[in-house]
């Protein structure tokens, strides 16, 4: 039995497009690092993130707050990386993103607002219970990512951090699919 049997073809297409827009820039960044220097790869990440944000806006036909936040962090930390010639800034972006994402989702749960639902309900309609369950999963995962990113950033070389980042991107995709499979409850109309 396929992991995707719960979803319609339209829903799977939306999930694929959203995933491509979400992970495309970082995959291009990781690939470009292997062929270019970190600063050129960072500049490419900045450009591709802007393009991805604009495409996300056009596809979703609404302001993509999450994509805007990622673009903001990428542009600020990317600029600092290039200006100061310090790769630590683009590495720190991930720790900040993961930490603030976990805190934002946690605060949302505390005030009864599912920020994941607000961001992705058009792509993937689910019950409130399912959104809450998947939010708890992502809070834990984001905390784990932030701690592990900061550990690797501080104790390993830049090349080792890129290897770690490559593994974590794929781990995030796999985690997202598994969490979705576990939490998904279709909205009954």
pLDDT at 2: 55
- Write down the pTM of the prediction: 0.87
pLDDT of residue 61: 82
pLDDT confidence band for 186 (50 / 70 / 90) = confident
What pLDDT is attached to residue 15? 81
Q: Are 30 and 162 in contact (CB under 8 A)?
A: yes
User: DSSP string of 21-76?
Assistant: HHHHHHHHHHHHHHHS-HHHHHHHHHHHHHHHHHHHHHHHTS--HHHHHHHHHHHH
d(CA 56, CA 64): 7
Q: Considering only 5-9, 26-30, 81-85, 158-162, which range has the smallest mean pLDDT? A: 5-9
Q: How high is the pLDDT of residue 67?
A: 87
Answer for the pair 158, 140: CB distance below 8 angstroms, yes or no: no
- Which tokens is 16 given? 């694929």
pLDDT score at 1? 44
Q: Is the pLDDT of residue 5 over 90?
A: no
Look at the block and give the residue holding tokens 């607002």: 113
**Stronger pLDDT, 14 or 113, i.e. the higher one:** 113
Per-residue model confidence (pLDDT) at position 123:
79
The pLDDT, as a whole number, for residue 3 is 53
CB atoms closer than 10 angstroms to residue 120? 20
pLDDT number for residue 158? 96
Bridge partners of residue 186, in order along the sequence: 126
* For residue 86, pLDDT beyond 60: yes
Mean pLDDT of 113-139: 92
Answer yes or no: is pLDDT of 20 > 80. yes
pLDDT for 141-155, tens place per residue?
Answer: 999 999 999 999 999
CA distance 128 to 124: 12
Give alpha helix (H) positions in the chain: 9-35, 38-60, 65-84, 88-110, 115-120, 128-155, 158-183
């Amino acid at each position: 039995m396929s992991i995707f049997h719960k979803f319609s073809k339209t829903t799977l297409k939306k999930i694929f497009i959203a995933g491509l827009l979400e992970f495309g820039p970082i995959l291009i960044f990781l690939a470009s690092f292997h062929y270019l220097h970190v600063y050129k790869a960072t500049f490419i990440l900045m450009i591709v993130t802007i393009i991805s944000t604009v495409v996300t806006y056009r596809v979703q036909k609404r302001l993509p707050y999450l994509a805007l936040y990622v673009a903001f962090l990428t542009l600020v930390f990317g600029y600092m990386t290039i200006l100061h010639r310090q790769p630590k800034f683009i590495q720190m972006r991930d720790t900040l993103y993961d930490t603030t994402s976990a805190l934002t989702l946690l605060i949302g749960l505390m005030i009864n607002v599912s920020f994941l639902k607000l961001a992705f309900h058009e792509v993937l309609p689910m019950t409130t219970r399912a959104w809450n369950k998947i939010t708890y999963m992502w809070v834990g995962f984001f905390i784990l990512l932030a701690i592990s990113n900061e550990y690797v950033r501080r104790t390993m070389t830049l090349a080792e951090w890129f290897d770690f980042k490559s593994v974590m991107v794929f781990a995030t995709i796999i985690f997202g699919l598994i969490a979705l499979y576990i939490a998904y409850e279709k909205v009954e109309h």
